A and B are shown apart, each in its own frame.
Chain A
């Protein structure tokens, strides 16, 4: 018998692959079933958002931001609106601030539900996905009630909101929270403690704090590595300093701190914290107030520039905006969280099996729309 030759093989995962959460191609260099190098190839969903933004008036950019991170459109709009408002020095009515926080946090729950559900799907658990989408539908119903749209809202305008919420919205949101807080226990029952799920995710793709910070990883993946950075807490924007909430961190309960299971678990607990924030915001919501009173007639920020960051469901969403005093921005750069979060995959995925790469990718929770912009 001749000697057995083990050669490295290049395997393309994607661009059309059900587990890549969009149009992403991963070029894997494999040695047998062990992955020795991962090169993500992105750009398939590039829609030149930044180029468009340079040719549109400020308020016309808002709908485009929602189309970047389509699973968290409220969060993207919120960040953009706040950046321009800060550039112009606009003070918002209390009611607007509270409503925005309510929508941003509901969006965080909706986005994490997709993340958790599809992560389960990636590693072979189909039922939790259905449960998660059941809950997400209820949130989308609330969004539809307020803005008329279920996915892309164009709701947070610069200086205010597109509409005030309709009568009955507050009650329905309370109803949702009551139901949701009970249902989280269900996910824990069917997924969190599930032996197969733990086997597939614990100790897989461990990310150390140093690697996470160096690669610009933010959001739940960063906190799963035990780094206590949540922009809502460390650099509070809007009115986040008024609410009580915990920042869940990875503790390595099933394996090592910063493994895929921790990234999942941080999201589950963040949903509970977001529900807490929504409840507090609903309790304190001022009854009076015109949500459009602070919307400027002409949006012409003074000459200058700003880098403004906010905590999106996926991490730090930054907008770098340059104004020359006209009604069209000179430059809008979106620092998208998933862009940096994806770039770490080669570092944490080496040495694992091909099937583990899918688990790691699922645990990073990427949205290709905002990676490619």
Chain B
């Protein structure tokens, strides 16, 4: 199934939760969706017979610029039917909340923890949302564009970049 057809199918089913379809400016055709209530969309993508998106290849957080919304990108693949789709969702910088898909795709468990760790995106419904790469008591979210490292970490000075 082509990305365009998947988009038509999804917007027929979920209406205004599916925002727009992007083919320009990306090598992977992308559907923008709303951050809240996204879990049923993924459940549908995975279980619907003509879609069967059983493999979540990648889940990435992204912060385009210092003032913008935060982004979560999902790259999906169907191992059975061999088609691809990318989903993207935007969430506000102050209260970044997105539905978790970790119960549906177990691989999302660690990927979501990573996005939480580095961007501070809260995945609602995640079974065990905690930092994964950084230390538990690290302050701030390092991959945010406006991130400023603390001066000290456990009494050790953090060197500033020149």
Binding site for B on A (CB under 8 A): 42-43, 46, 48, 50-51, 54-55, 86-87, 213-216, 227, 229, 234, 303-309, 316, 318, 320, 322, 324, 330-331, 333, 335, 339-340, 343-344, 347, 372-373
Contact = CB atoms under 8 A, between A and B. Distances in A.
B56 A216 contact: yes
B57 to A, nearest CB: 6
B interface majority secondary structure: loop
Contacts of B135: 43
Contacts of A214: 54, 105-107
Contact of A216 (B55, B131, B132): B55
Contacts of A229: 79
B75 A318 contact: yes
A303 B118 CA distance: 24
Contacts of B107: 214-216, 340, 343
Interface string B23-34: 001111000000
A50 B145 CA distance: 12
Contacts, number: 92
Contacts of A372: 133
Contacts of B133: 42-43, 46, 372-373
Contacts of B86: 307
Given A43-B132, A214-B106, A214-B107, A309 B57 contact: yes
B94 interface: no
Contacts of A46: 133-134
Q: Which of A51, A55, A331, A347 has the most CB of B within 10 A?
A: A331
Contact of A318 (B57, B134, B143): B57
Given A216-B56, A307-B75, A50 B105 contact: no
A216 B25 contact: no
Q: Which of A42, A50, A304 has the most CB of B within 10 A?
A: A50
B26 A51 contact: no
B142 interface: yes
Interface stretch (B4-12, B13-21, B58-66, B152-160): B58-66
B129 interface: no
Interface residues of B, number: 34
Contact of B27 (A86, A216, A340, A344): A86
Interface of B: 25-28, 54-58, 60, 62-65, 73, 75, 79, 82, 86, 105-107, 109-111, 118, 131-135, 142-143, 161
Given A42-B133, A43-B134, A46-B133, A343 B58 contact: no
Nearest to A45: B133
Nearest to A306: B27
A307 B27 contact: yes
Contacts of A304: 25-27
Given A307-B58, A318-B57, A51 B79 contact: no
A169 to B, nearest CB: 34
B142 A48 contact: yes
A324 to B, nearest CB: 8
Given A322-B64, A339-B110, A213 B27 contact: no
A75 B87 CA distance: 27
Given A87-B27, A214-B54, 4 more contacts: A54-B143, A216-B57, A339-B110, A340-B110
A87 B28 CA distance: 11
A308 B84 CA distance: 12
A316 B57 contact: yes
B64 A51 contact: no
A158 B135 CA distance: 34
A306 B30 CA distance: 11
Contacts of B134: 43, 46
